[in-house]
Structure formats: C-alpha cells, structure tokens
Structure 1
Amino acid sequence: MDDPVRVTVETDDEERSMRCYDDEGSVGVDGATFRFDVTGLRGGPREDGEVNDDTTSADEERSDDTAGADEEASAGRARTGTGSDTATDPLHLAPLADVPERTTLRFEALAGRRGVEGIAQRQGDAVIAWENSCPHEPDVRLDKGMGAFVASGQLVCDNHGARFNCDDGFCTHGPCRGQSLRPIDVEVRGDEVFLTDDRFESCRRPGR
C-alpha cells in the first residue's frame, strides 16, 4: 500500500491514532488490540473490467528483504553514532536551525511501514517532540501543516482550545485537561537533530 491509512483505536479510557502503510496489521491500546486486513480489497475487478494485479515475484520479495536489512543496518549505525552523512541517515530529523521556537516542525516517525506524525519545537539549544495528536480527539492534529499555534509557552489545539505546556506536554485547559501529549524522543547533536526513540527506525519530513 503506497498511501497510508490513518487507523484509530478507541477504548473506554484511551484512544490511539497512527498511520499504516501495510495492507494488514494490528494496533494496540489500553489492553485492546485492533487487527485489520484489506489485502483482497485492491485485487478485485475495476470499473473497466480489468483485474488489479498485486502479486509480487520472488525476486521482488528478496529485493524488499534486502532493502529492509540495509535500512535496519543504517538505523543501527545511526543509533551507535557511526553514521556520518546526515543526508542519508534515516534518523536525521532536521538541522537545528530549521526547528522553530514559536511554532512547530512537523515530521513522521516510522517503524517499518507504520508511521506516527510528530511535531518538534526548539527550546534554546534543545528540541522537544510530541505526537501530532490531541488527546481529546486523536484524529485532530495540533500542527495541520503550517505549524502549531504557540501562546504563552503553550501549544494550543485550535479545534476546542486545549492548551499544553511546551516543556512537559501537560494539558492545563480544555476538554482533555489533566492529560498529556505523547512524547517522541529526539536529541540534538551539534547543529543537527536526530530521532532517538527506540520505537522507530527512521523519520522524514513532509515534502522531503
């Protein structure tokens, strides 16, 4: 599946939203697991009478496996500090100078073919990052592409006015007061920012 599907799991106590690039998989939250499989949906007849062919040759599968191994090796080198070229480092998020202080920089953290949108904000010489999802309604992004609104040291969700401390992600006002944004681990190394969260293998920025 080339285009991601946004999957949201809701329980009585919690919701979790993520982006998935696979035809099948599972998402777990609060002890509950949602499994999905849309493999056959892309192989049915089209309006013109033709049949979609999603079969993959053995050579293509081996090629995909090799590419996956190379990506894992690159991620391992980056985590141990052996990667030197930020242009090809899968965990390189952005130059420090690109991360704003008065708004946010949107990115996507990836684990295989699953992704979680994140937002990064500079605080002096440090950078902090959160999942780009409001606890009140996880499908709602804080940063819709132009940067999240920041006022008086707080991120503001423009849907229902929830306000979150920039330093710890705690909600002090709004319908999800008392809840917190989900953190994503990042680290500044020199003049560059890297993803260091063990849940993910790589990251990318929209349009890059």
Structure 2
Amino acid sequence: MSDRFRVTVEHDDETETALFSDGECALSAGDATVRFNLGESASDDGPVAGDDPKRIVDLDAVPTDSTVRFEARGPSHGVDCILRRIDDAVVAWRNSCPHRPEVPLDPGTGAIVRGDDLVCHKHGAQFSGGEGTCTHGPCAGDALDAVAVAVDDDAVYLTDDRFESARVLGQ
C-alpha cells in the first residue's frame, strides 16, 4: 500500500499516535483500543452476492449535462472519480482538477458542463468532453486522469486494471 494513515487514540490523559499502511491494525490508549482493517472499506459492506463488483451504474443514470461520482477501489484504497455520458458512450476521470488536485470537478452536486466541456467550479478551467484535455484556464494543455470504463447491456463497468471494484458515491 502506498498511502499511510496517521491514527490517534485519546483516552483520559493518555494519547497514542501511529502510522499504518495496511492489514489489520490496533492502537490503544488507556482503556480504549481501536481495531481496523485498512484492506476493507468501512463505507459499505461491498457488493451484494452475485453482483459484479466492477459494475458502477445503469447507463440511464449517467447524465450528459453533469456527472456521477463513483469510487474506484484498488487493493488498498479508493479513488474519487466521475462519469459523464456523451451520446451512448461514457467517459470517466479522477474527480480532480490538474491545476489544483485537491479541488474536485464534481463537489458532490454534479460537475458543471458547458456545451461539450467540463468546467472546474473553482478556477473556470475547461476540459474537452471526450478527451479531458484542458482547453482554457490555468492548466491549459494538461489532461484529466482517465479511468477506463465500458458500457455493456445498458450498464457502465469499470475496466481499468488499476482497480478491483467500484461503487457510486452520494446515493
């Protein structure tokens, strides 16, 4: 796992802090112990038995005039991503502006779409519809980080080898 997480447990007058990067972990302070597994998502119970873990959403749920947020999950962590429909095709990128990576293109209410372009709500950068290349703004020439997806049987599937599963965010 490339990401490390700082965990702090405070109990009464005692504080313990440690960095963890993977596996089952436990940290204690006084009478309190926190146990967790960095290889599992705490946000849901995972895919329902029989469901394809790479199935993201029905094609009809992906708008042409905005985006849908989803999390692409790798072996150790998830990545916030967005889907956008262009005719019967769907494109996906990391939900991050190249100018300021901490700024999401979709803050949770859908990204701004002007014509065929996605627009950064914070800086006004414009990204071409299908390619994700910045055509105007502070990161002109840079491109959004593409995430491979495919449409099959009226559903959108994650096909990017960097990730093992996906789930829609904010629903």
TM range (shorter): 0.7 to 0.9
Checking the alignment, whether the CA contact within 8 Å between 1:108 and 1:204 is kept in structure 2 is: yes
Judging by fraction of residues, say which structure has more strand.
2
1:157 correspondence with 2:120: yes
Match of 1:54 in 2: 34
Percent identical residues = 43
- 2:21 aligned residue: none
Cα shift readout 1:137-179 (whole Å, capped 9, x = no counterpart): 0000000111100002100001111000011001011110110
Q: Say if 1:114 and 1:170 are closer, same or farther in 2 by CA, change over 3 A.
A: same
Q: 2:122 is aligned with what amino acid?
A: N
Maintained 8 Å contact 1:186/1:196: yes
Match in the other structure for 2:167: 204
Amino acid across the alignment from 1:107: F
Q: 1:207 to 1:143 in 2, by over 3 A?
A: closer
| Distance in 1 of aligned mates of 2:113 and 2:169 | 21
Q: Which deviations, in whole Å up to 9, do the C-alpha atoms of 1:94-143 show, x marking residues without a partner?
A: 00000001111110100023111111011111111111000000000000
Mapped partners of 2:87, 2:100: distance in 1: 30
Q: Secondary structure at the match of 2:156?
A: strand
Structure 2 residues without counterparts, runs of 5 or longer: 15-29, 41-45
Say whether 1:168 aligns with 2:131. yes
Following the alignment from structure 1 to structure 2, what is the Cα–Cα distance between the partners of residues 202 and 138?
A: 23
Deviations 1:59-106 (A, max 9, x none): x9xxx89xxxxx9xx9xxxxxxxxxx9972110000000000111111
Are 2:93 and 2:144, in contact at CA under 8 Å, matched by a contact in 1? yes
Distance 1:37 1:153, change over 3 A: closer
Name the residue aligned to 1:90: 53
Aligned-pair CA distance for 1:207: 4.2
Please show how residues 56-205 of structure 1 align to structure 2 within 5 Å. Answer: 88-205=51-168
Tell me how far apart the structure 1 counterparts of residues 64 and 50 of structure 2 sit (CA, whole Å).
23
Change (3 A) 1:170 1:207: closer
What is the CA distance between 1:54 and its match in structure 2?
3.4
Are residues 37 and 102 of structure 1, via their aligned partners in 2, closer, same or farther at CA, if it must alter by over 3 Å?
closer
Contact 1:133-1:142 within 8 A present in 2 as well:
yes
TM-score when normalising by structure 2: 0.78
Secondary structure of the corresponding residue to residue 53 of structure 1: strand
**Contact 2:119 / 2:127 at 8 angstroms: preserved in 1?**
yes
Is the Cα contact below 8 Å between 1:45 and 1:51 reproduced in 2?
no
The structure with the greater share of residues assigned to helix is: 1
Equivalent residues, number: 150
